[in-house]
């Protein structure tokens, strides 16, 4: 535990100008893009709007063109507001078959060998970034079909397809384990509530008898945060605020189909940590012992701040500000509160959390120049992140009055 902390991306690298991307890391070169944009997309200024058909065309690679990596991620993420992923992949494959004449016999081997690596790269990026899309058998079917069409021109394409499918299978297995753990945690909480109502709870160990080192507990909290964050796919943020497409008269409301279990579980984790802190403070019968627990959690919160774990930091502060704790005036009278007030100041909501946002930018800068894994960790205050995303979504229309998709 005292070794290097697990590595994660800081907020500045997790978010592109258009959203969350775990594949855009500092210093990484873009793939070999083609000489220009796809049909229908003009050279020059940044794309701000276009029809859905045009945007799909811009996603389709050719022998001499590959879309920018930021565009691939952004469109694959946002397109699900307008078209289901399996239908999008179907249209991409149809366009590829038509443009590259993959339904003709014999195939133009030289042309397909130039096109093959591009479509394989697109499929690889799609499966790595949005593996949950490939829980749908239709998605897997389209992927296999397009690769089978180009495989006769190069045997290596079969190996690539098998590798893609193997990676998807591993990612889906990991996601399934995460979902199972959420179910187990929720069931355990429910069982404990029932047991508590039916019989007196057994004598429990207090937090200080289990872990008296604030730094160790802060590390453990950070491990939990990173593990739970790793299960949240970028599509969950889109699905959380999805609204029915006004031009879609056939599909059911997308929000009815949304899957945001991992995101919701992470929010619940924050709430449980708040209640844990409040419970541990209120458990001791004597004021002196309660004061010791408060000071311990203040030190844990400070270590979380130093690590860059702002979510656990805010949960601890919120727990200490809950009314069962804040009303313990005599207990607080025995606490050295100077460090607590400093932490509260850092998370002060005044000015739309100005102090916190300043500290977050500093942590992100430290992460970019860090030499150790521990210094690279930045975990934002999640509820505020969700709030920011919500208002960004509310302030931007999905479609413009002319029916174009708003891509600005």
Q: How many CB atoms lie within 10 A of CB 4?
A: 10
What region, left, alpha or beta, does residue 9 occupy, with left being phi > 0 and alpha being psi -120 to 50 degrees? beta
CA nearest to 73, candidates 14, 117, 26: 14
- DSSP letter string, 139-193: HHHHHHHHHHHHGGG-THHHHHHHHHHHHHHHHHHHHHHHHHHHHHHHHHHHHHH
The CATH number that applies at residue 88 is 1.20.870.10
Same domain, 213 and 162: no
Return the structure tokens found at 379.
């975990």
Same domain, 144 and 266: no
Last residue of one domain, picked from the residues 169, 194, 218: 169
Specify the DSSP element, H or E, that contains 228: helix 214-230
Domain count, the chain: 2
Q: Is the previous residue joined to 106 through a cis bond, with omega within 30 degrees of 0?
A: yes
Residue 236 falls within a domain, yes or no? yes
Same domain, 165 and 280: no
Same domain, 163 and 215: no
Domain that holds residue 398: 203-243+257-406
Collapsed DSSP state (helix, strand, coil) of residue 379: strand
- End-to-end distance of the chain based on CA atoms, in angstroms? 44
Residue 374 falls within a domain, yes or no? yes
Note down pLDDT in tens along the chain; length 408 residues.
444 444 333 433 343 333 333 333 333 334 444 444 544 454 445 778 899 999 999 999 999 999 999 999 999 999 988 999 999 999 999 999 999 999 888 888 999 999 999 999 999 999 999 998 999 999 999 999 999 999 999 989 999 999 999 999 998 888 777 666 655 555 555 555 555 556 655 556 788 888 999 999 999 999 999 999 988 988 888 888 776 555 554 444 444 445 788 889 999 999 999 999 999 999 999 999 999 999 999 999 999 999 999 999 999 999 999 999 999 999 999 999 999 999 999 999 999 999 999 999 999 999 998 888 888 999 999 999 999 988 888 888 888 888 888 887
How far is it, in rounded angstroms, from Cα 266 to Cα 173?
19
Q: Are 293 and 207 in contact (CB under 8 A)?
A: yes
């Amino acid at each position: 535990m005292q070794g290097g902390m697990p590595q994660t991306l800081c907020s500045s690298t997790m978010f592109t100008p258009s959203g969350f991307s775990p594949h855009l890391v500092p210093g990484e070169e873009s793939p070999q893009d083609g000489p220009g944009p796809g049909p229908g997309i003009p050279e020059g200024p940044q794309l701000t709007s276009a029809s859905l058909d045009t945007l799909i065309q811009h996603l389709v690679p050719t022998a001499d063109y590959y879309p920018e990596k930021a565009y691939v991620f952004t469109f694959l993420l946002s397109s699900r507001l307008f078209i289901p992923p399996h239908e999008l992949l179907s249209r991409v494959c149809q366009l590829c078959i038509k443009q590259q004449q993959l339904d003709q016999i014999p195939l133009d081997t030289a042309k397909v060998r130039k096109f093959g690596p591009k479509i394989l790269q697109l499929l690889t990026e799609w499966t790595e970034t949005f593996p949950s899309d490939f829980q749908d058998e239709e998605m897997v079917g389209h992927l296999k079909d397009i690769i089978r069409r180009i495989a006769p021109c190069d045997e290596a394409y079969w190996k690539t397809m098998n590798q893609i499918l193997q990676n998807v299978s591993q990612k889906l297995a990991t996601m399934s384990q995460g979902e199972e753990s959420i179910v187990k945690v929720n069931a355990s909480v429910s069982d404990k509530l029932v047991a508590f109502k039916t019989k007196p709870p057994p004598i429990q160990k207090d937090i200080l008898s289990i872990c008296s080192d604030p730094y160790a507990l802060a590390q453990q909290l950070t491990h939990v945060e990173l593990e739970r964050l790793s299960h949240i796919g970028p599509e969950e943020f889109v699905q959380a605020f999805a609204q029915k497409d006004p031009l879609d008269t056939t599909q059911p409301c997308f929000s009815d189909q949304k899957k945001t279990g991992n995101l919701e579980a992470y929010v619940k984790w924050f709430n449980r940590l708040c209640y844990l802190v409040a419970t541990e403070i209120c458990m001791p019968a004597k004021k002196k012992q309660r004061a010791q627990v408060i000071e311990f959690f203040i030190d844990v919160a400070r270590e979380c701040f130093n690590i860059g774990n702002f979510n656990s930091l805010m949960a601890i502060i919120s727990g200490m500000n809950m009314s069962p704790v804040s009303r313990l005036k005599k207990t607080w009278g025995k606490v050295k509160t100077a460090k607590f007030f400093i932490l509260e100041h850092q998370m002060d909501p005044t000015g739309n959390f100005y102090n916190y946002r300043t500290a977050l930018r500093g942590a992100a800068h430290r992460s970019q120049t860090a030499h150790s894994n521990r210094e690279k960790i930045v975990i934002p205050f999640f509820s505020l992140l969700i709030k920011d995303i919500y208002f960004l979504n509310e302030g931007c229309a999905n479609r413009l009055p002319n029916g174009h998709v708003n891509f600005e």
